[in-house]
Amino acid sequence: MEKKALLVISFGTSYAETREKTIGATEKHLQKAYPDHDFYRAFTSRMIINKLKKRDNIIVDLPAEVLKKLKAAGYTHVQCQTTHIINGHEYEITLKEIKAFENNFESLTLGRPLLTTVEDYEATVDIVMKQIPKLKKGEALVYMGHGTDHHANATYPCLDYMFKMKGYEDVYVGTVEGFPELENIIPLLQEKKYKKIYLAPFMLVAGDHAINDMASDEEDSWKTVLEDERFKVECILKGLGEYPDIQNMFLEHLKKAQPVTGM
């Protein structure tokens, strides 16, 4: 007898409000499409898992821990979907963890991160630009991506290029922990003589990076740095996971998920 499970895997966040609006909303969207699968959640950030357990007494497992429980409970078919944005460290670790269980189920699949194919980039740009106020003359939008030392950091310059290719000349993509950084973008903003800059996170959740590194009044936040450069700044604290069309992209990736054998 078949016993099916759906496992949605996210980096995680300790901010409860944005967690429900983004991760929770995406999970519900995927659950709705697979009503014959029992739902399970996993996070990949041990730091967030430990913080939630200690501070809020909320228990969230790592992917491998969930899969051990599913094996013990007699599940035969497990479909996994990551909500990671890029194919970086977190995704590679996740894939490695899941592959260790490839012989424990009749089928075990994993859907890819948001930005995997060229078509993903094109669709994502179209989706997010519907959510942003239409830019007027003298206005620009700067997205804050996470960034990484993994070679998948090339996602962010590629995404910036895709915005330009689709006609959004006043949209820029920077990162907190990769390239390009804000300091690489500021000269471009000054050259174009923008008066107002919108800031928005290019992350699943509007969590710590968005609230503190991007939008706070701390001296090194992107908002403060840009204001010090005489730009007017408006922050949009909305994670990608809040957009129904982004949730639907993850669903499409789930539907096209490949068996982890051979991945």
* CB 162 within 8 Å of CB 168: no
- Residue 209 annotated as lining a ligand binding site: yes
As a whole number of angstroms, the distance between CA 25 and CA 43 comes to: 15
* CB 18 within 8 Å of CB 51: no
Nearest one of 136, 125, 131 to 206, comparing CA atoms:
131
As a whole number of angstroms, the distance between CA 26 and CA 36 comes to: 17
As a whole number of angstroms, the distance between CA 19 and CA 53 comes to: 15
For residue 208, give both structure tokens. 């710590």
- Residue 146 annotated as lining a ligand binding site: yes
* 166 Cβ contact list (under 8 Å, min separation 6): 122, 125, 126, 129
146 is catalytic: yes
Catalytic residue among 146, 150, 151, 253: 146
Edge-to-edge order in the sheet of strand 139-145: 171-175, 139-145, 196-201, 232-235
Catalogue the active-site residues.
Answer: 146
Residues at the binding site are 146, 177, 209
Residues at the binding site for Co(2+) are 146, 177, 209
